[in-house]
Amino acid sequence: MAVTQLAARASESPHPPASARQAPPSPASGRGVFWGRLGVTTWVVPILLLLVWEALSASGIVPQRKLPSPHSVALAFWQLTRSGELPRDVFVSTLRAAVGFAIGGGLGFAFGLAAGVSRLAENLFDGTLQMLRMVPHLALIPLIIVWFGIGESAKVFLVAVGVFFPIYYNTYHGIRTIDAGLLEMARIQGLKGFDLFWQVIFPGALPSIMVGVRYGLGIMWLTLIVAETIAGSSGIGFMTMNAREFMQTNVVLLGILLYAALGKLIDMAARRIEKGALAWHPSFAQA
Amino acid sequence: MASLVRAGVSFLERSVEVAPLRPALSAGLPVRLRNVAKFFGSRSVLQDIDLTIEPGQFVVIIGRSGSGKSTLLRLLAGLETPDAGDVHLGDDASPGRLRVMFQDGRLLPWRRVIDNVALGLPKAERGRAATALQAVGLADRANEWPRVLSGGQKQRVALARALAANPRLILLDEPLGALDALTRLEMQGLIEDLWRQSGFTAVLVTHDVAEAALLADRILLIEDGGIALDLRVDLPRPRRAGPAVAEIEAQILDRLLGGSRRAA
């Protein structure tokens, strides 16, 4: 019954009442802006979802063992935090992510730079890299387990491989698509070598590089989850797989939410950096 | 007496608007082209160009689009190499000897206005950027991003950037082509003033006949890859539209439009 009601409501939603259509929210005034500025509007839907979920669990419509209620997840969070298990796993996962990202991103940037700046370098390895880029890096897992076992280096390696390609490609592409007119102008102004790179080429490629970084951050998380889930003895992925063995669905859910929260946190940081580094860019201009 | 006062006032207005960049002292760069030819593929763009430009001259190159006038400018700038003959720019090989002002401004969007003007200046000479920006009347916009400026202001910044290194030759590639009529007149006055103060050699490419007649010491009409007309203009400056200027314009237009106009 409840489900059909929800479905009915959902089918209504694409057709808002006529009054709402006639009065589109004006960007400069109205209550929507006031609440939006307080950051309230963003939270309405998630909080509503949580309430509905809690209600469905409490009433027994959704079995606890399939989908535990929000408060039992919160409880698991509290207990695991107090026992020190959770902070340790989060720390281990974050460290793996950071090291893998630094290695893969650093190499990707270096190779992208070389291929972008030098035709020789481009001819040497761009073709090969473009081919390897098409291999889903998670397909390497069996091979990596053979090479590295299931230790730290396997996970870091896999993250590094995953992060390498988007950063390589976007750095290379960013440099190659810089306005040729600007380069010509810079040479007329007497810039060359490192000055030309630092003042014109790098900032010109930065918007594209930042796209690569944000894309790479997403891949970093994804890779880490898979790697930790398949093989490991610590980390958030291990924590969730371990909990599954004991049917602790609330811990499994906690792990998933942690990945979401950490991913969101990192994306926010990347946006902040982007906004600072690309303040000149019309897309990031302060309103 | 009254006219003297008026002249004085107008002089004052001018000097307020345009702060002197520096007293006229540096000699412009002489330019010499000998038998220069340029091909794009098998198509000949320029052939047998022989040209000597005296130091400090204001030369306007005019022609239809596709006549090779921009290629000639790019040869002077060193952005193209001639397929035959040679381009000789005095005996000065310093990096600050010449600057180019492009039609599309080409400001770096990621640098503030003042840093755009200072682009390529040695650290010790960065103070010149502020002077140049003041000379084009934009000192108060120094810390803005280029994107907030109007088209005319962007071209002023590009002009300031061209001036900042005190070059001995400035090449202007249709720099005013995209501006509205009023802004264009203002910019023409500004370029002329700065040229008169600084004494650099100026080579301006345009398709605007009136602009050529207002600014040029010498007008070169390029047609089919060669110099079809070499016209000296000895009118007092600053020039205003009038019969003398109109006559120069008519002369160029006659040549540009060829027989079709004479027949009509």
How many angstroms away from the CA of B230 is the closest CA of chain A? 28
Has residue A111 been placed in a domain? Answer: yes
For A248-264, write each residue's pLDDT tens digit.
Answer: 888 999 998 888 888 88
Alpha-carbon distances of A155 from A65, A129, A135, A220, B247, rounded to whole Å? 31, 21, 18, 10, 81
Assess contact for A109 and A171: CB atoms under 8 A.
yes
Sign of CA dihedral A162, A164, A165, A170: positive
Has residue A35 been placed in a domain? Answer: no
> For tokens 């890859």, what's the residue?
B225
Pair of tokens at residue A83? 């026992």
How many angstroms away from the CA of B257 is the closest CA of chain A? 32
Q: Is B108 within 8 Å of chain A by CB? A: yes
- H or E segment at B103? none
pLDDT of residue B263: 45
ipTM of the complex: 0.82
Has residue A283 been placed in a domain? Answer: no
Q: Which residues of chain A have pLDDT under 50?
A: 1-27, 287
How many angstroms away from the CA of A124 is the closest CA of chain B? 28
Cα angle A259, A166, A99 (rounded to 5 degrees) comes to 55
Distance CA A119, CA A114 (A): 9
Which residues form the domain of A128? 79-277
List, as ranges, residues 231-250 from B with C-beta within 8 Å of A: none
Domain spans of chain B, in order of start: 25-97+167-264, 107-166
Q: Do B99 and A189 touch (CB under 8 A)?
A: yes
Has residue A19 been placed in a domain? Answer: no
For residue A182, give the chain B residue with the closest CA: B106
Q: State the pTM of this model.
A: 0.78
Pair of tokens at residue A148? 């590295």
How many angstroms away from the CA of A120 is the closest CA of chain B? 23
Q: Do A206 and B104 touch (CB under 8 A)?
A: no
DSSP code string of A125-164: IIHHHHHHHTS-GGGGHHHHHHHHTTSHHHHHHHHHHHHH
pLDDT of residue B167: 92
Has residue A131 been placed in a domain? Answer: yes
Considering the domain B25-97+167-264, what is its CATH architecture?
3-Layer(aba) Sandwich (3.40)
Has residue A65 been placed in a domain? Answer: no
Residues of A in contact with B100 (CB under 8 A): 185, 188
How many angstroms away from the CA of A131 is the closest CA of chain B? 34
Residues of B in contact with A194 (CB under 8 A): none
Q: Which positions ≥6 away from B46 have C-beta within 8 Å?
A: B36, B37, B38, B68, B71, B72, B75, B225, B226
| Block mean pLDDT (10 aa), chain B, length 264 | 48 45 63 92 90 94 88 93 90 84 93 94 90 92 93 94 92 91 91 92 93 93 90 89 90 79 46
Q: Is B149 within 8 Å of chain A by CB? A: no
Q: Do A280 and B110 touch (CB under 8 A)?
A: yes
Question: CATH code at A257?
Answer: 1.10.3720.10
Q: Do B110 and A182 touch (CB under 8 A)?
A: no
Q: Do A204 and B77 touch (CB under 8 A)?
A: no
Number of domains in chain A: 1
Q: How many CA atoms lie within 13 A of B188 on its CB side?
A: 26
How many A×B Cβ pairs under 8 Å? 52
pLDDT of residue A18: 40
Has residue A97 been placed in a domain? Answer: yes
Q: Do A280 and B104 touch (CB under 8 A)?
A: no
Has residue A157 been placed in a domain? Answer: yes
pLDDT of residue B146: 94
Alpha helices in chain A (DSSP H): 2-12, 18-22, 31-37, 41-58, 70-83, 85-117, 119-121, 127-133, 141-148, 152-176, 180-188, 193-196, 202-230, 236-245, 249-277
For residue A280, give the chain B residue with the closest CA: B110
Q: Is B34 within 8 Å of chain A by CB? A: no
